[in-house]
A and B are shown apart, each in its own frame.
Chain A
């Protein structure tokens, strides 16, 4: 119950709905029992004793009481549902806010699919229990007590005889439940596998086709498909075995009732009406008992769901603002690292090892080095996406942790290697960081990023809708929109993380030319593999294994005979060869 206690804040404030639901549930259940009683009175008193004058009262009384039941049912069901829905509304709101504030580190280890399944299936599991589970349990207990009470009132021995099969039914329910859930899990797992199988096949269809592996893929699919069918049929076999059995055990009650009850009637110790009423009452308790397993399972599942939701809600927000954090106004763009070391997790090797540098306002810095050498980590420390393990990062002479996160990040524009675009118009994507930007500002940003021309060629220009992950644009076009998005923010510090890798050389050249204009008055960090992209930087940092091994201008570094020179030689070999042949 610990889970439900911890999640109490989401549903308990709405207890009004729950209590209403339960009260009317009580009314509803009591009235349910009325039908067999009226049947009994009709048979025994009206027909048996010929008191036909009672009929209108019975008929209208019955309709009246059923009308009350109808209203009670409505109120109970509606409020029960509402109780769950409102709780889920609050819960989603909180989860969303939480996810927005979780640090990069959290997302490094989390899979989107996993979080999504928590946000959908687990939220739903939790709601289902709040809406139906609680109420169902209470209803079941009520129904059992009241029904048994009425039956005992009519005839104690008959009640006992009728109830003889109930323990067996309970055992069957229990056993069924124990078997069917693992079977269901098997079905779900198999379906998941089949799903992954198909998804992978479609995502990798180019590879499949290029190696003509279609037949092999079909075989693989067939075996998953077969497995799913088998798992499903295994589950349905459990159903086929237990469900008729449970029904049969319920029917045994009926047979016992008829046999013994009929015998009692023949011997005049029971009336025909009472027997009929008994028959109806038995029907009321058998179904809920068969459902009991389902409800109990629902409870344990929603508990597990609650646990998974709590894992998100209780995830640590490692990066928080100081209580006295100050607003950064327009930054000057002075960036300083003092003996900074970074480990992503405790067991990881150092991503950055004791780095120190100072960049003056308005300078352009190039960062070069192999994948994983620490270039990106350096830029992510400036915006506090991660916290340094040791040392300090300063902007405009103050530690970055002194500023409010929002004002700090507003001053830094990022263009990441993988240019993620949102499902929205091109216009909205460019204005993403500054939704209030005017159309002129948006167009000007697009022009600077060399994106204006191809945007204008689109059917709806800036109002063109981009699909999921920018579907419909080439890699280079996406990158240029991502660059425009950063420019539109008008940041003091601009970070281009391998931002032009997907565009061809001519476009890259054009972007570079335009960026020169953009970089004026901003501190810029360019991460790139091509020397041509960062050659003109004021200073170039060469990264190796988390350290800056060399720094200087292009000309200085070429003279140094280090890693930079080596990269330069490889990249410019072609050109030299060309000058040897073509440029004569």
Chain B
């Protein structure tokens, strides 16, 4: 293969894998994270700590008992009674240790899970109230990852990390104290290996960590490609690119393999090095310890205690390294979590917001200006007067401000100037819930939730009876096809409603909106692929749905526009014309031009 062709294969797909897995240490952020422990600082946290203290103390005491008492006193003194007493004490300590461990594990997990539960709840609830714009800017996957994975990566830190940190520091200190008390010179001699241990635990571990991160990045690239290649399999086969894709995959697979091999190699050096330093420590102990015993300044039991305690040295040092790792990874996750928590909803509810009763549906825009960001106005001096029960249509090109108007009626945004009134109340004065619960937006791309058809229709009004629900379905003409489904209204539909056609999904969303019985309906009627017969059914259903309600239609289909009580023609955020179809046609302005151009398109096709 020529090098150019090879390069082309490698650049065939690109996946953003620049995710940072760890972040530098940040005390403010850590503090903010640890504040989630606060609700538990009165009971659960201190209790867990006490249990940790007990188990740590016992683990330290037992080697001392065995070495300095069992061996030196009882065995060396050939004192069978003392031996049995000591064994009894040790057995007792082990029982205490057992009980303390049961509660330690239990309470530490409750603590960790409670914090994770709180954090996840806080994040989800916060995100739930963010504006549409927040969601428009991000893919669903990236939001999901934060709520699920980023929070999960803190799980280990809160369950074991924090408390282990404490336990290990205590343990190390305890070992130090005991060793130095028994024999300062032997302790010093043995601790020559300590710097080496720390070095391995920090430097080498860092290297190993980095190489595992590379593996993870490569793997995530590999998985992104696998996922995409599965979704695009039909395209790949249509364009017979199987061979080329396989070549690309081989490259990615190979990269993963190489990075893995490298990481494994580094990883495999870890244990031998640790054991070697331990061995050097033990050798020093044997040599120098034996010399001390020879000189009479050390008892044999003390020597044994030393041997055991040195064996216990590595574990806390190694675990401290691990907790440090967890903290660094936790930094990256918590930074991403806090980024979301710091997002503010675009609109805030007043403290003394009015609860709207059943509204009539008069909507009034008074000199409304709006800019999403910066100076570019999405709406400029808009005045609209929509009377209860009217159907109005918003017409204009993409970016003319139609959707913005719809979003402002539901108060997803506040105007930068001017005011919007609902039945005479400024939207900023009313509670969001009481406002939005009386408005339904029917989208063309209807989202069907996994669950039964029934659940889906009931989505907007969970208390509806089966009777009401079926009536709503009948009213929009959805009853027929629902009945034909294997289990009727109890048929399980999967996410996005795979077993339903686009038209059927649309009818379900109409039934959903009808059952919610809103006073105002906003209909976003985007172009989509529906066969003509279905379109006729939908049109009919629409008439039922709109009856007796205020309706705002973002329209493309001539048939809906024509029947509207009033048509507002928008251009670059300005209101250009308004009136009903006949008036606007007579006016011979933009609207007439729009209609004619559509007509010409169809004419030309005919020709």
CB within 8 Å for A512 and B286 given contacts A116-B230, A468-B139 = no
- A195–B105 alpha-carbon span in the complex (Å): 26
Of B99, B234, B237, B290, which is in contact with the most chain A CB atoms at under 10 Å from its CB? B237
Taking a contact as CB atoms under 8 Å apart, the answer to whether B128 and A214 are in contact is yes
On whether the beta carbons of A225 and B117 are closer than 8 Å, the reply is yes
Cβ–Cβ < 8 Å partners of A66 in chain B: 275-276, 278-279
Question: Is A10 an interface residue when CB atoms closer than 8 A count as contact?
Answer: no
Task: List residues of chain B with CB within 8 A of the CB of A210.
Answer: 410, 439-443, 522
Contact present for A259 and B83 (CB under 8 Å): yes
Q: Does B30 contact A (CB under 8 A)?
A: no
Is B343 engaged at the interface, CB distance under 8 Å to the other chain?
no
Cβ-defined contact, A85 with B264, below 8 A: yes
CB distance from A575 to the nearest CB of B (A): 6
B1-27 with Cβ < 8 A to chain A: 5, 8-9, 11-16
Q: Which residues of B contact A330 (CB under 8 A)?
A: none
Q: For residue A502, which residues in chain B have a CB less than 8 angstroms away from its CB?
A: 527-529
Complex interface bits, B222-251 against A, C-beta within 8 A gives 1, otherwise 0: 111011111111111111111111100110
| CB proximity of B421 to chain A, nearest CB, Å | 19
Q: Does B188 contact A (CB under 8 A)?
A: no
A-B contact pairs, 28 of them (CB 8 A): A55-B291, A59-B283, A69-B272, A78-B268, A198-B124, A199-B140, A200-B495, A207-B459, A212-B433, A228-B117, A233-B110, A240-B103, A244-B97, A255-B94, A258-B83, A276-B71, A371-B503, A406-B240, A414-B238, A435-B241, A435-B244, A436-B8, A471-B139, A498-B529, A532-B602, A567-B532, A570-B533, A578-B595
Interface: B541 (CB within 8 A): no
Report how far A365 CA is from B289 CA in the complex, Å: 96
Q: Give Cα A73–Cα B595 distance, bound, in whole angstroms.
A: 80
Bound Cα distance from A333 to B231, whole angstroms: 29
Residue-wise, chain B 403-422 has the 8 Å CB interface mask toward A (1 for contact) of: 00000001010000000000
Tally of chain A residues near chain B (CB < 8 A): 160
Contact indicator per residue, chain A 502-522, by CB within 8 Å of chain B (1) or not (0):
111110110010000000000
Per-position 1/0 for A245-260, Cβ under 8 A of B: 1011001101100110
B385 lies within 8 A of chain A by Cβ: no
**Which one, B13, B78, B279, B602, contacts A423 given CB within 8 A?**
B13
Is there contact, CB below 8 Å, between B265 and A78? Answer: yes
A58 and B290 alpha carbons, distance in the complex (Å): 11
Contacts A97-B246, A506-B601 hold; do A207 and B272 have CB atoms under 8 A apart? no
Report whether B234 and A420 are in contact in the complex, using a CB–CB cutoff of 8 Å.
yes
Interface of B is mostly: helix
Contact B606 A62 (CB under 8 A): no
Those 5 A-B pairs whose CB atoms lie nearest each other, nearest first:
A70-B272, A210-B441, A66-B279, A212-B436, A236-B109
Q: Is the CB of B80 within 8 A of A263?
A: yes
Q: How far is the CB of B273 from chain A (nearest CB, A)?
A: 7
In the bound assembly, the distance between CA atoms of A212 and B286 in angstroms comes to 74
8 Å CB interface, A516-533 against B = 529, 532-533
| Chain B residue nearest in CB terms to A415 | B238
Tell me which of B76, B114, B432, B606 has the highest count of chain A C-beta atoms within 10 A of its own C-beta.
B606
Nearest-Cβ distance from residue B277 to partner chain A, whole angstroms? 10
Q: Which of B246-292 contact A (CB under 8 A)?
A: 246, 249-250, 253-254, 256-257, 260-261, 264-265, 267-269, 271-273, 275-276, 278-280, 282-284, 286-287, 289-291
State how many angstroms separate the Cβ of B305 from the closest Cβ of chain A.
11
Task: Point out the residue from A71, A247, A468 that lies within 8 Å of B272, measured CB to CB.
Answer: A71
- Say yes or no: is A101 at the interface (Cβ < 8 Å to chain B): yes
B249's partner among A96, A206, A436 (CB-CB below 8 A) is: A96
Shortest Cβ distance from residue B207 to the other chain A in the assembled complex, whole angstroms? 15
Contact in complex: B558, A52 (CB < 8 Å):
no
| Chain A proximity mask over B497-535: 1 for CB below 8 Å, otherwise 0 | 000011100000100110010000010000111111111
B574 contacts across to A, CB distance below 8 A: none
Contact of B528 among A81, A225, A501 (CB under 8 A): A501
CB neighbours of A63 from chain B (8 A): 279-280, 283
Whether A370 sits at the interface, judged by CB under 8 Å, is yes
Stretch at the interface among B36-44, B84-92, B349-357: B84-92
Name the distance in Å between A335's Cβ and chain B's nearest Cβ.
16
With contacts A406-B240, A471-B139 taken as known, whether A423 is within 8 angstroms of B304 at the C-beta atoms is: no
Q: Determine whether A151 belongs to the interface, using a CB cutoff of 8 Å to chain B.
A: no
A residues 255-287 touching B (CB-CB < 8 Å):
255, 258-259, 262-263, 265-266, 272, 275-276, 279
* Residue B213 at the chain A interface, CB threshold 8 Å: no
Question: How close is A38's CB to chain B, nearest CB, in angstroms?
Answer: 7
A432 touches B239 (CB 8 A): yes
**Residues of chain B lying within 8 A (CB to CB) of residue A58:** 286-287
Quick check: A247 and B101 within 8 Å, CB to CB?
A: yes
Which stretch (B164-172, B444-452, B544-552) binds chain A?
Answer: B444-452
Name the residue of chain B whose CB is nearest to the CB of A495. Answer: B238
Question: Are A252 and B94 in contact (CB-based, < 8 A)?
Answer: yes
Q: Check B232 against A206 for contact (C-beta < 8 Å).
A: no
With A and B bound together, what is the CA distance between A204 and B257 in angstroms? Answer: 38
A370 and B286 within 8 A (CB): no
> Across the interface, which residues of B come within 8 angstroms of A467, CB to CB?
16, 139
Nearest A residue to B596 by beta-carbon distance?
A: A582
Closest B residue by C-beta to A405: B240
Asked if B239 and A529 sit within 8 Å, CB to CB, the answer is: no
Which residue from chain B places its CB closest to the CB of A39 in the assembled complex? Answer: B307
The residues of A that contact B529 with a CB separation of less than 8 Å are 417, 498, 501-502, 529
Let me know if A15 is at the binding interface, CB within 8 A: no
Q: With an 8 A cutoff between CB atoms, is A222 at the interface?
A: yes
Residues on the A chain within 8 Å of B116, using CB: 229
Interface residue stretch chosen among A40-48, A155-163, A177-185, A442-450: A40-48
Q: Are B148 and A221 in contact (CB under 8 A)?
A: no
Q: Mark B122-140, 1 if CB is under 8 A from A, else 0.
A: 0011001100100100011
How close is B437's CB to chain A, nearest CB, in angstroms?
Answer: 5
Q: State the CA gap A120–B224 with chains docked (Å).
A: 11
> How far is B601's CA from A173's CA once the two chains are assembled, in angstroms?
77
Contact A532 B605 (CB under 8 A): yes
- Closest Cβ of chain B to A521, distance in Å, is 20
When the two chains form their complex, are residues B286 and A42 in contact, meaning their CB atoms are under 8 A apart?
yes
A77 touches B271 (CB 8 A): yes
Tell me, rounded to whole Å, the shortest Cβ–Cβ distance linking B596 to chain A.
7
Extra inter-chain contacts (15) besides given A92-B253, A570-B536, CB under 8 Å: A47-B300, A50-B294, A59-B283, A85-B257, A112-B230, A191-B148, A207-B446, A212-B433, A216-B462, A225-B117, A244-B105, A251-B98, A255-B90, A410-B240, A423-B15
CB proximity of A562 to chain B, nearest CB, Å: 13
The CA-CA distance from A60 to B286 in the complex, in Å, is 10
| Residues in chain A near residue B330, CB distance under 8 A | none
B387 proximal to A (CB < 8 A): no
The verdict on A211 contacting chain B, using a C-beta distance below 8 Å, is yes
Docked CA distance A567–B71 (Å):
100
Contacts of A410 in B (CB 8 A): 240
| B128 x A206 contact (CB < 8 A) | no
Is B604 on the interface with A (CB-CB < 8 A)? yes
Could you tell me the distance between the alpha carbons of A252 and B289 in the complex, rounded to whole angstroms? 30
B290 touches A263 (CB 8 A): no
Answer whether A424 and B66 are a contact pair too, CB < 8 Å, given A73-B275, A210-B441, A577-B562. Answer: no
Chain A, Cβ-Cβ closest to B8: A435
Residue A549 CB within 8 A of the other chain: no
Are the CB atoms of A74 and B269 closer together than 8 Å?
A: yes
Any A CB within 8 A of the CB of B74: yes
Query: In the complex where A59-B286, A60-B283, A502-B527 touch, is A107 in contact with B87 (Cβ < 8 A)?
Result: no
Interface centre among A194, A279, A409, A582, by most B CB within 10 Å?
Answer: A582
Verify if B425 is at the interface (C-beta below 8 Å from A): no
* B143: interface (CB < 8 Å): yes
A538 to chain B, nearest CB (A): 15
For residue A119, CB closer than 8 A to chain B, the reply is yes
Chain B nearest Cβ from A39, distance in angstroms? 7
**Is A207 in contact with B124, judged by CB distance below 8 angstroms?**
no
Given A207-B446, A215-B433, A502-B527, residue A529 in contact with residue B109 (CB < 8 A): no
